[in-house]
Structure formats: structure tokens, C-alpha cells
Amino acid sequence: MSNGQHRHVWRIVFSNFINSFRPRQIQGNHIGKDYIGNTYYEIPANPSIGKRKASRWYDPPKGQDFQDPIPAEWESWLRMRRVEPPTAEEIEKNLAIAELKKVNADKLEQQRLAEGGSLPSTVEKGHESYPKYPEYHGGDPENQYKNN
């Protein structure tokens, strides 16, 4: 190896080292967008270069920073539980079902209140919130073992 070729190799090594600190620009195929505003991407599998699985991810809308839960259809696609991304018709159908369930729950609650039911009481937290049964405690927790 002559002196000129040797310098050329070190230049390549040095430039690769410097480029390793730069962030990579990952370009994926745009797959879809949901009603929340999340955008979904995929890089398909390519076994010829050793990539056996597809890479899937999403970008939330600006300012959300992964706060809202993603729809179940898209989550199953992201986690490779389904091959094809959800269709717009499927998402609309599931949203309509969810809205119908909310309306039916409100109707049942109104019906329960009209029949004389009360609002659910608040649940206490801690060890005192557990139920106490007189047949197990004999009415008095201190005397529960005296009857036996």
C-alpha cells in the first residue's frame, strides 16, 4: 500500500466516525392517519439485506407527545398482530359501536335513577374499606373467637 492509499483509508474511517454521531433520517412508507391525528409509518421487511421483520411506528400530532392512547386497530397493526392496516370503514364502524355503548350506558343510568336508585357511593380506600360480615366476626371483632 502506498502512502496515498493509506491516507485515503483513514479519511474514510474518520468520515464514517464523524457521520455516526449525526442523527439518521429514517424514511418510512406513510401508511395512514387516525382520527386522533397520529401518523403511521412502516419500513417493510427485506430478507435480502437481513431485515426479517417490518419496522412500524407512529408520530403523534405536535404537542401531544404520546399522551392519548392509540386506537386498538392501529395498536394491533403496530404490534404485528395484524398484517394489513385498518381500513377507514372498520375504524368508523368501531367508533359508532363505542358511541352506541356510551348512549346505552347513559340510558341505563337514567332508567336506574328514575326507578329510585341512587348514585354510586364513593369507594373508600385502605384496609377499612373491606367488608365485615357479622357471621365471621360475631358482630364484634374482639369476640370473634370466643364463640368457638
pLDDT of residue 36: 87
pLDDT of residue 63: 79
pLDDT of residue 116: 80
**What are the pLDDT tens digits along the chain (148 aa)?**
455 556 688 888 888 888 888 876 678 899 999 888 899 999 888 888 888 888 899 988 887 777 778 889 999 999 999 999 999 899 899 999 999 999 999 999 999 888 886 665 555 566 666 667 777 765 555 554 555 4
pTM, two decimal places: 0.56
pLDDT of residue 22: 80
pLDDT of residue 145: 54
For 43, the 3-state DSSP assignment is strand
For 6, the 3-state DSSP assignment is helix
What element of type H or E holds 36? Answer: none
Q: Quickly count: other Cβ atoms within 10 Å of residue 40's Cβ.
A: 21
pLDDT of residue 49: 80
Cβ neighbours of residue 66 under 8 Å, at least 6 residues apart? Answer: 60
Question: What is the residue type of 139?
Answer: G
pLDDT of residue 19: 82
CA 24/CA 65 separation, integer angstroms: 20
Domain ranges of the chain: 3-110
pLDDT of residue 85: 94
